[in-house]
Structure 1
Amino acid sequence: MKAEKIKPLIIITVLFLLAFAIRAEAYNIGGVPKDSKQFYKDQNGLPYFSEMDSYYNYRLTMNYLHKGILGDTKVNGQNWDLHSYYPPGRPVDYPPLIVYVTSFVYRLVNMFGDYPLTVVAYWIGAIIGSLCVIPAYLFTRKISNDYGGVVAAIIIGFTPVYVSHTYAGFFDTDMFNVILPLLFIWFFMESISADNLKRRLAFILAAIISILLFSMAWVGYIFYVAVIGVFIIVYFLLKHFMGVERKIYKSRVEWLVNQRELSMFLLLIIIGGLLFGLLKGFPALIGSISQLVSGVQLQATAQTTNYPNVYVSVSELQVPTFTEGNPFLPNQASVLGGVGGLLPFLCGLLGVGVLIWRIRSLEAPRVEMKKAKVKRAGKKSKFIKYQQDIPNVEEKKREYLSYLSLICAWLLLTGYAVTKGFRFVSLFAIPLGISAGIFTGYFVEYLKDNLKSTTSIAIVAFIAGILIIYPFKVSVIAKILAGIIAIALILSIKNEKFRATSMMILVTLAIVSAPISGAHALTSSVVPGTDDGMWNSLTWIKNNTSKDTVVMSWWDFGYLFAVAADRPVTFDGGSQNTPRAFWIGKALLTDNESLSLGILTMLSTSGDMAYNTLDNYTNNTSLSVKILTETLGVPKDEAREIMMKKYKLTAEQADNVLRYSHPDKKKPFVLILSSDMLGKAAWWSYFGSWNFDKKEGEHYAYYTSLAASKPEVADGNVTRIVTVNDPSGLVGVLIEKKANETNATIVVVGANGTSEKIKPHRLMLIEGNQLVKNEIVDKNSPFGLLVVGSEGSYMTVIMDKKLEDSMFTKLFLLGGFNQTSFKLLHQEPGVLVWTRA
């Protein structure tokens, strides 16, 4: 008895340690070469955060610890962020749970030592993310068994999307997105099945606390209240059509009291709504409900202007395909891969079938009773005997029906959420994992009870052995060998009970092998989101520029800029879907340096005021953009004349716009250009080239060589150098040097192995930091080519022709060649810092 009581505790401990160990593997930053790891660590030897939202959460936590508020200050009683979206900043309307929890843990651990906030923030996501295996196991174990609980815990806790947002170094609110919903629904289901009123009230109160906490972590918390509401509807519909519990009640009150699902839901709504209203205000509660009805809680991608929607460039908001690549393996590109592979998905679907089968099997006694003939006095019918073997038949049917209704409603709603973006696959994996656990629990019990022959046991062991090792990168022979070893292990066990248990363990491992291996592969290839080059550049800005200097770049690193440079930024993850995406993209893409400088001056000094003011006069965003594009690059007097004569603005209107587009007192700014922006060019060029009439942009891209190359072939007086510019190896550059002449061509390899040489539109050659060639080669070619030679090695960059004269190319790739509007302030590996000349 004692062993039975301690077994769940042991399983929970092992599950948590496994989940945490895999997440902790990210600390080793396995995606970085050994000789470069130090470049990706801070001065204390801790790897930088893996994702930029982490720095926003870190800064809010610092504010809370030092100032007692999340913002930099308060404006009209509201928390206000002066570092973000400058000017004028923006309100800190952000779920605060991550700040509160991290601050509490920080203060707690510092009672026993001296731990920087970065250390606490680095590890807390991995700890909280790993905790979800506990409710997943306990929840599923109750309706299934230990095997089912383990499977549910692993599928849910090791879901690729969830692991990728909760490993060490990923400090974001996603850590709460599984544990709190699981606790909420688990406690609610326990309130239904509790055997007395006191326990029911305790569990419903625990459910309410869980959802209130979740409301402080994600604005979409109301989604899970909707899941319970749909569950209730589905439950009563199935109950009616399946004829479960046709009991006659004396009154409606008695009926309501006996409908625990409904009564507990009413308590949840009444008490939970009252507490939420008292804590956050009833308007906030009404707002949550209205947002749920309007369907914007799951994915806020609404665009209220004619500017391009930047959310289309965010990978986790892309709608996933159902399957991609090997369906048996986890990935972050499809629904199947996102839940851990085909096997967990199929088991999840089969779990629904198991619950239906269990309900139907409990109806067998009723059928038997109808067919039974009258027996002699003193004899019991077969049904009565069977009924004694299964006590509380109606109660069990009700329990199974509750779980069936819940799983169906949960899968349906989270399945809909997946159609709004890949990030919601982790929501879908929760009910799928529970359902897979239910199936596994009954499946392994069935195998134990029905597989007795040596042959059948050997077949199961062989298949399980192959499935266990299948996700790992081994040969077919190794997989077959694993199956043979599994057979040998099983058949070597003479004790029938131990053999059955071993077979059940093998089957369980076969189902969860892919999620575990996928999670480990993910965390063992982590690369931090920044490096010393960027951090040192930002530290230089912090120490060498005035406090009112504005940091400008593409949005991805905005949160990092605000933390490390301690300067306001114009564009970050909280303002990515704004008109600034177009204007920053335009400043990077244009070949007009005065226009680029004018855009950056406007944004850093007056923010959105110029185009917002102009929109009020034109009522036409496309026209407003056209006017500003034509005038931002010219002096103020000339711009005024264009606005009045060409576009018929009044003198007052033109002056009002010019106050913001050509400010007299300009704010100092720095423009940060970094190597990562080469890979992001397809997006910043897309938004920067936006056509407001056609509602579309153009993607332009850079294709950099994968590594530096040295001369490899000497043929007479000709030296050849080959670079590879595409991971597939099908695109590269051939450089031929003869005496003082250097020529280069783009090489495209066809599927049949033949190669085609394409002359570049323009060839730019840099030798020893000097631009020695910059000439048009083939005016009809769609690609330009940059060749950079340094210390006997060569790097190449193939680019779309449109990027050849872009300001990004001039400032980052050519080091400011042939422009006079910007001057270089500071340089680090992979990072250049520019300002107004």
Structure 2
Amino acid sequence: MDIRNVLEKLKPVLIIIALFALAFYIRAEAVNLGGVPSDGKDFYTGPDGLPYFSEMDSYYNYRLTMNYINRGILGDTLVNGRAYDLHSYYPPGRPVDYPPLIVYTTAAAYRLLNLFGDFSLREVAFWIGAFIGSLCVIPAYLFVRRVTNDYGGIAAGIIVGLIPTYVAHTYAGFFDTDMFNIVLPLLVFWFFTESILATDIKKKTAYAIASALTILVFSAAWVGYIFYLAVLVAFVAIYLLISRYILREKPVEGYTGKLEWLTHQRELFPLVVLLLTGGILIGVFGGFSNLAGAITGLFSATQIQATAQTTAYPNVYVSVSELQVPQFIAGGKSGLMPGQGTVVGGVGGIMVFIAGLLGVASLLWKYRSPERVPEKTGGSGLKAGKKSKFMKPLKNQGVSDEEKRHRYLLYAVLMAVWLIMSGYAVTKGSRFIPTFAVPLGLSAGIFTGFLVEYLRDSVKTTTSVALVAFIAAVVIALPFSVSVAIKLLAGVIGVGLVYSLRKPEIRAPIMMILVTLAVVAPTVSGAHSMTSSVVPGTDDGMWNSMQWIKKNTSSETVVMSWWDFGHLFAVAADRPVTFDGGSQNTPRAYWIGKALTTSNETLSLGILRMLSSSGDLAYETLDNYTNDSGKTAEILTATLGVPRDEAKNVMVSRYGLTEAQAEKVLEYSHPSKPKPFVLVLSSDMLGKAPWWTYFGTWDFEKKTGSRYGYYPSLGSSKPEVVNNTTVIQTVNTAVDDALVGTIIEKRDNTTNATIAIGNNRTVQRIKPHKLVIIEGNLLVRDEVVDSNAQLSLIVLGSNNQYTTVIMNRELEDSIFTKLFLLGGFNQTSFRFLHQEPGVLLWTAA
């Protein structure tokens, strides 16, 4: 057996295994919780020893998968034959209209793995995103290798497999549908291009059907699958226009019929097969109405920003970061790796961005330029017979010059169309950055493959090879830390120079490897920095709070809070919730925000009772009478905080409702048998205050709200004695180059505190509007200090440690301030239930 021939045949498999191992290893790094101090990791680890999921949609997917395994349906029950979720948006719950692929795939993996061992569903859910997300290296490598060589394929596999914004949604512990959003589109495009390039009609048809089947699978993962069909249609149409009317390529004539003509259209035939087969399959398995909805949704998806406000109520989608239009480039630790929230940083860095654009240009250059066949050289130059086995350009694959030109143009048009359409999608929200990064990464791989070919053929002397190697090594090291950079520079350059001097025939491969690494290094660095700084989305404080609710409340108890943790509440407490990630874009954003922001405790309690007992029925019923959501909100605001009889009188006498209308509204706004509820207040809500206050202060006429915020100290501080005065200083936030903090002074049994704004040079001390000082459980001071000031201050002291919270004066008496910061001081409407680190639970008094 010839080992070399065997290895040559196995080479693509070995490369794929290596690429997958790299992508999975970086994603698996998240399990180590690099963003958490060593002594705090247990706080972010669940009872099963695994870190908590990193974001809240993971808990929704997890609960649906549990339902499917235990009940055979995604929901809690069936309503008229339709799966229904009674935990979400309570009451009345909502139908489970959710792409089921993540549930089916995870359930299948769970059952398969448990044939060989004992694995919990959470273990499978924790790791499956990293596994499936890493699979995208396979089609990326094969797709680019087809038109360039292994160097290009490897570069494409690494860049696409480690797109920072994609890794951020597919590392271990991130259990969401994003795992399918690159590997499946890549398979669609790979099968489709293979269908175009195939010469045998059977292979051409088989690849087109494989592409259609992949689209069918993708349609069960994300409604946005239709976007990729649109790209393929646009690509084929534009390619045909260019080839027929710009390049004046004459179509072959003389076919006996339309069917024979169609089967000989190498680009059009696969598209027809794909659209017909895919349309039929999706219509049969998913419903033709859903297919039509996906097509119309393609056009409405381009209007995300324009439709941010479609009703009189505020739209919470404006607070979702993924729907914000991203900056092009900003921030970051080096020019090669800008901030990952930007377009350039999100796709893998400036190197990838530039290489991706040059990839299209290089395809066009290859199309217009004849192949360069390197001549044999003497001396220390590259020998033609010693060409790297990684290099298999088209001319060595039995491909004619005409076919080569066809492929180059085909890939160039596909990359250009794909880049333009996905680039336009990015202007509608940062969630589309990974969509744009895929063609950019493939194109960068194509450029890399052509670049190393050019360098192999053009750079021949020892000095020039060493110079290219040195530059490549510097670029490799730039995205990494200084210590790692020194090791890379010393090691890589040393090895490269030593071997290039001793063995001239491997000079070119070393240079080409370094160039390839230089292109992918920023992407690898960005992905690794992402997974090595992970902090889970929740902790023991929240989880144990939910476990307390599960053990100490009735099954009909409703859990209420801002929407972010709703999915977690439903899983950990096994109780219905009013507001979660699947229902945030509803009027409940306004009412929950108002319940937290108002200083009227009876109004806040009335809002929570209304939502937990009747949901939306009160304001929906009242809307039928007023035809004005603003007027409805005004009426309910005036009546929810007062007894039923008084509320009826206000509705009738002040707002002109009939007695029958008022009684109907009161049935829902002032329920006779209100459902028990638990209000969850947590430390994360301090940072989210600008959003829930924005919705809670919504002005229905101006269609805007006011953002108010809390600025807690970054840590606790101990007192220091200075000139017979005890001084305590805290730092609360930083604005540009200035620090905002507090200075607390204790002297002669008198405690005063001021807000300090300044830097190392000057400090300006400002009196707060209201000052509240609490020592242990003793209220030391609670008074208005400066009636004109815009900021208020709370000082909390315990065991000789002090923390402070600066806030907008509008929040000093809010329900959130009273219940979370002041522990329920000076209010009688809510009763304290339970406390865990960073979490307080309240119910109606």
TM-score bracket for the superposition, by shorter chain length: over 0.9
Q: Is 1:544–2:552 an aligned residue pair? A: yes
Pick one of 784, 792, 796 that aligns with 1:788. 796
Instruction: Provide the residue aligned with 1:371 in structure 2.
Output: none
Letter in 1 for 2:594: K
Q: Conserved in 1, the CA contact under 8 Å of 2:158 and 2:520?
A: yes
CA contact (8 A) 2:559 2:677 kept: yes
1:131 partner letter? L
Aligned partners of 1:214 and 1:767: how far apart in 2? 58
Matching residue within 208, 220, 225 for 2:229:
225
Q: Is 1:9 the equivalent of 2:18?
A: no
1:506-545, aligned counterparts within 5 Å? 506-545=514-553
2:275 paired with 1:269: yes
Structure 1 residues 147, 766: CA separation in 2 closer, same or farther (over 3 Å shift)? Answer: same
Contact 2:302 2:428 in 1 (8 A): no
What amino acid is the match of 2:838?
A: G
User: Aligned runs of 1:676-755 on 2, under 5 Å?
Assistant: 676-712=684-720, 714-727=721-734, 730-750=739-759, 753-755=761-763
Which one is further off, 699-708 or 583-592?
699-708
Equivalent in the alignment of 1:460: 468
Contact 2:331 2:338 in 1 (8 A): no
Query: In the alignment, residue 79 of structure 2 is paired with which amino acid?
Result: V
Query: Of 606, 619, 636, which aligns to 2:614?
Result: 606
> Are 2:795 and 2:805, in contact at CA under 8 Å, matched by a contact in 1?
yes
Residue matched to 1:124:
128
Taking the aligned partners of 1:49 and 1:25, their CA distance within structure 2 comes to 14
For 1:108, the equivalent position in structure 2 comes to 112
Deviations 1:383-408 (A, max 9, x none): xxxx9999622222222221111111
1:828 and 1:534 map into 2 onto residues whose CA distance is: 7
2:843 is paired with a residue whose SS is: strand
Count of matched residue pairs: 812
1:620 paired with 2:593, answer no
Q: Secondary structure at the match of 1:122?
A: helix
Deviation at 1:568, TM superposition (A): 0.4
Match of 2:319 among 313, 317, 327: 313
Partner-residue secondary structure (3-state), 1:349: helix
- 2:810 equivalent among 802, 819, 825: 802
SS in 2 for 1:786: strand
CA distance in 2 between counterparts of 1:481 and 1:3 reads 31
Higher mean C-alpha deviation, range 455-464 or range 155-164? 455-464
CA distance in 1, matches of 2:838, 2:474: 45
Task: Please give the secondary structure, in 1, of the residue aligned with 2:832.
Answer: strand
1:23 Cα deviation after fit: 0.5
Q: Deviations over 1:270-325 (max 9, x none)?
A: 11111111112222222222222444698896544211110111111111011111
| Counterpart Cα distance in 2 of 1:791 and 1:559 | 36
Matched residues in 1 for 2:795 and 2:101: separation?
Answer: 50
Match of 1:240 in 2: 244
**Structure 2: distance between partners of 1:303 and 1:232:** 36
Assess if the C-alpha contact under 8 Å between 1:245 and 1:394 holds in 2: no
Name the counterpart of 2:415: 407
Which residue number corresponds to residue 287 of structure 2? 281
How far apart, in 1, do the equivalents of 2:575 and 2:371 lie? 70
**Cα distance, 1:833 vs structure 2:** 0.5
1:480 is displaced (CA, Å) by 8.0
Map of 1:826 onto structure 2: 834
Q: Deviations over 1:744-785 (max 9, x none)?
A: 1111115x7211111111111111122221111111111111
Q: Is contact 1:85-1:575 (8 Å) kept?
A: yes
CA contact (8 A) 1:331 1:340 kept: no
Q: 1:388 to 1:461 in 2, by over 3 A?
A: closer
**What TM-score does the superposition give when structure 1 sets the normalisation length?**
0.94
Q: Which residue is 1:377 aligned to?
A: none
- CA change 1:614–1:81 in 2 (3 A) is same
Counterpart contact for 2:314–2:703, Cα < 8 Å:
yes
CA contact (8 A) 2:33 2:534 kept: yes
Deviation at 1:453, TM superposition (A): 2.2
Tell me, in whole angstroms, the C-alpha distance in 2 between the residues paired with 1:656 and 1:305: 24
The aligned counterpart of 2:139 is 135
Structure 2 unaligned regions, length at least 5: 374-394
Q: What SS class does the counterpart of residue 612 from structure 1 fall into? A: helix
Aligned partners of 1:332 and 1:96: how far apart in 2? 30
Measured at CA, do residues 299 and 11 of structure 1 come closer, stay the same or move farther in structure 2, by a change above 3 Å? farther
Aligned residue in 1 for 2:33 = 29
Q: CA deviation at 1:459?
A: 2.1
What secondary structure sits across from 1:775 in the alignment? strand
Runs of 4+ in 1 over 4 A off after TM superposition: 296-303, 362-365, 387-391, 478-487
**Structure 2: how far apart are the matches of 1:456 and 1:80?**
68
For 1:781-800, what per-residue CA distance to the aligned partner results, in whole angstroms no more than 9, with x for missing partners? 11111111111111111111
- Whether 1:650 aligns to 2:661 is no
Distance 1:234-1:364 versus aligned 2 partners, 3 A rule: farther
- Structure 1 residue 689 displacement after superposition: 0.7
Give the drift of 1:743. 1.0
Is 1:469 equivalent to 2:469 in the alignment?
no
Amino acid at match of 1:715: V
What secondary structure, in the 3-state scheme, does the structure 1 residue paired with 2:730 have? strand
Q: Which amino acid aligns with 1:774?
A: D
CA RMSD of aligned residues (A): 2.0
> Structure 1 residue 328: deviation in Å?
1.5
Following the alignment from structure 1 to structure 2, what is the Cα–Cα distance between the partners of residues 44 and 481? Answer: 39
Alignment of 1:132-281 (within 5 A): 132-243=136-247, 245-251=249-255, 253=258, 254-281=260-287
> What do residues 252-272 of structure 1 show as CA deviations (whole Å, max 9, x unaligned)?
735433221101100111111
Q: Per-residue deviation at 1:160?
A: 1.1
The answer (yes or no) to whether the contact 1:160–1:330 under 8 Å persists in 2 is no
Mapping for residues 363-512 of structure 1, pairs under 5 Å: 392-474=400-482, 483=489, 486-493=492-499, 494-512=502-520
Moved more, 584-593 or 10-19: 10-19
- Determine the structure 1 residue equivalent to 2:388: none
Equivalent residue for 1:379?
Answer: none
**Residue type at the aligned position of 1:169:** G
Answer whether contact 2:465 2:507 (CA < 8 A) is retained. Answer: no
Runs (5+) with no aligned partner, structure 1? 366-386
Q: 1:481 to 1:56 in 2, by over 3 A?
A: closer
Counterparts of 2:424 and 2:94, CA distance in 1: 32
Residues 330 and 339 in structure 1, CA contact (< 8 A), matched pair in contact too = no
CA deviations 1:455-493 (Å, max 9, x no partner) are: 322221221111111011328xx8588557654433222
AA of the residue aligned to 1:281 = G
Deviations 1:62-108 (A, max 9, x none): 00000000000011111100000000000100000000000000011
Q: Tell whether 2:349 aligns with 1:341.
A: yes
1:756 is paired with a residue of what secondary structure?
Answer: strand
Q: Hey, what does 2:576 align to over in structure 1? A: 568
CA distance in 2, matches of 1:391, 1:541: 68
Q: Which moved more, 1:826-835 or 1:322-331?
A: 322-331
Partner SS for 2:671: coil
Distance 1:295 1:792 in 2: 55
What is the letter of the counterpart of residue 723 of structure 1? T
The SS at the match of 1:140 is helix
Q: TM-score, normalised by structure 2?
A: 0.93
Structure 2 match to 1:381: none
The one-letter code matched in structure 2 to 1:782 is Q
SS at match of 2:247: coil
- How far does residue 145 in structure 1 lie from its aligned partner after superposition? 0.9
Report the AA paired with residue 606 of structure 2.
Answer: G
Write out per-residue CA displacement over residues 728-752 of structure 1, whole angstroms, 9 at most, x where no aligned residue: 66111111111311111111115x7
